[in-house]
Structure 1
């Protein structure tokens, strides 16, 4: 569908197979994942241990599950500082908030409050239920911003988090025109926006833990949604990015999703981030001077 020359869809939908790092290892695809897990956990711990960054813990739903939010700030952060919200990836079935804080430091040092959300993983919930969870989170984060008189919000989602972030365009009752005026940017990083191929792949969706069928895969594919309200998003810039060292399927899904948004009237920019893969594009957001950190700063006009 997105890679006419592809003969192995399972491989095309596994980003770890497309890194050019760790080629001296027996299984580079496993090494790049292990490195991501270990490095991002360390980057998160360093925020409070070494960078004098504080964190408040909140719950946007549930009682003893993963519906939690961590809000990061330092002594210079004002209550009404602009807010940056991040949604992690993991194919809706892995990773958690401890792997999701890489970009916090550079943003907090530049005056932002950063909210990192977590969510229940499949198969504890179906993907359809998870999208409703995310809608509930959106209502919570807007109420949080409104109580603090925050008038500038930026959202970013990586991989499956990019897919979930697209729900912000579909949750009309929660994301009202008034709330849209506070959203300055939506940043979709290396996302997957069309589920029609992946839902039937056993390695991606083992034993159908996502709870999908052909019809549900269509209904939950942002690339296929009908967008008719672009005029009410005039305050928001849309940024869709892919990494150079990804499969053609991942790159083309981002490119096509960007085109769908642009055709619908949203002010959209597509960027292929050179030399990055699916993992270090997040890892390097922790470094103030990395190409991806500088690009985010450019988006935020820092």
Structure 2
């Protein structure tokens, strides 16, 4: 589908981002090594926020009882500039958590942002349909929280499966008032998957159908197939960025490219960027570094939004 000029594409491999990194080639299983490194680094970055950098963290519940519907809000004790940055992790809707999601936080809190790192129920505890509904409730919580905390601007970012969930922000405009939409300044879609039609039968991505997908509901859950023409004018003040990496599969890169094109044709303000050198994982890992290419790009985009 995203290889129009090729036949016999190995979709199992194309939908596994770890197979396309150029790192750890000296290891017996480079694909496993890149994942192990990612989890280790991101957990260390998250732990360092409190233990090494003195960042304050507050865990809040946005829905549910005794489950993963919580969010960690990070800030410097003296910070109160009215800027909120919301981050949603990836993991194919079935892995990772907020303890592995802190890499993006430090450069932002140093500049006065409060950063909300979302955790969510994973499949198969919930179906992907239920997860998307729960994500809608999280979005409503974010806007309620913003009002309670005198937030003047909100920025969103989602990585991988988190970018897929983030598309729901524009898909439920009837639930978000015009006044609330005006607070949303930037949305970053990072390394996302936006079309599930090829994905759902793949054993490597969806073993034993733990996502509870079929040929019908995968269409309903694919942002690439949603009716984006409606209500885009009300998001005129929001700049979206669809980001991908050189060392991703053709499918992942083309899904990002096509998703950006779709949003643009629907009337949204959107930029597409393919980053040289990065893969699906270090584009997040290097967010911890002030002078990395990805951090500098994010900060520049945020700077434009606040001018």
Alpha-carbon distance between aligned partners in 1 of 2:207 and 2:177, rounded to the nearest angstrom: 37
Q: Secondary structure at the match of 2:244?
A: strand
Q: Secondary structure at the match of 1:214?
A: coil
How far does the alpha carbon of each residue in 1:205-255 deviate from its partner, in whole angstroms, 9 at most, with x for none?
Answer: 111111111110001110111111110001100100101100000000000
Alpha-carbon distance between aligned partners in 2 of 1:140 and 1:113, rounded to the nearest angstrom: 15
Partner of 2:191: 190
Alpha-carbon distance between aligned partners in 2 of 1:152 and 1:74, rounded to the nearest angstrom: 18
Alpha-carbon distance between aligned partners in 2 of 1:176 and 1:204, rounded to the nearest angstrom: 36
Alpha-carbon distance between aligned partners in 1 of 2:167 and 2:156, rounded to the nearest angstrom: 10
Asked if the contact 2:86–2:115 (Cα under 8 Å) also holds between the matched residues in 1, the reply is yes
Partner of 1:26: 28
Partner of 2:161: 160
Structure 1 residue 147, shift from structure 2 partner: 0.8
Alpha-carbon distance between aligned partners in 1 of 2:167 and 2:116, rounded to the nearest angstrom: 18
Alpha-carbon distance between aligned partners in 2 of 1:213 and 1:141, rounded to the nearest angstrom: 31
**Are residue 138 (structure 1) and residue 145 (structure 2) matched?**
no
Partner of 2:67: 65
Partner of 1:298: 300
Asked if the contact 1:138–1:174 (Cα under 8 Å) also holds between the matched residues in 2, the reply is no
How far does the alpha carbon of each residue in 1:50-88 deviate from its partner, in whole angstroms, 9 at most, with x for none?
Answer: 10100011001111110000000012311x520000000
Partner of 1:232: 234
How far does the alpha carbon of each residue in 1:93-134 deviate from its partner, in whole angstroms, 9 at most, with x for none?
Answer: 001111111010000001100000000000000000000110
Alpha-carbon distance between aligned partners in 2 of 1:126 and 1:72, rounded to the nearest angstrom: 29
Partner of 1:279: 281
Alpha-carbon distance between aligned partners in 2 of 1:73 and 1:268, rounded to the nearest angstrom: 28
**Over the residues paired in the alignment, what is the CA RMSD in angstroms?**
0.9
Structure 1 residue 176, shift from structure 2 partner: 2.0
Partner of 2:223: 222
How far does the alpha carbon of each residue in 1:184-205 deviate from its partner, in whole angstroms, 9 at most, with x for none?
Answer: 0110000000000001111111
Matches within 5 A, 1:104-183: 104-183=105-184
Asked if the contact 2:287–2:295 (Cα under 8 Å) also holds between the matched residues in 1, the reply is yes
Q: Secondary structure at the match of 2:174?
A: coil
Partner of 1:2: 2
Provide the aligned length of Structure 1 versus Structure 2: 301
Q: Secondary structure at the match of 2:303?
A: coil
Asked if the contact 2:173–2:231 (Cα under 8 Å) also holds between the matched residues in 1, the reply is no
Alpha-carbon distance between aligned partners in 2 of 1:72 and 1:223, rounded to the nearest angstrom: 32
How far does the alpha carbon of each residue in 1:150-176 deviate from its partner, in whole angstroms, 9 at most, with x for none?
Answer: 110000000000000000111223322
Alpha-carbon distance between aligned partners in 1 of 2:9 and 2:238, rounded to the nearest angstrom: 39
Q: Secondary structure at the match of 2:85?
A: strand
Partner of 2:17: 15
Alpha-carbon distance between aligned partners in 1 of 2:100 and 2:39, rounded to the nearest angstrom: 6
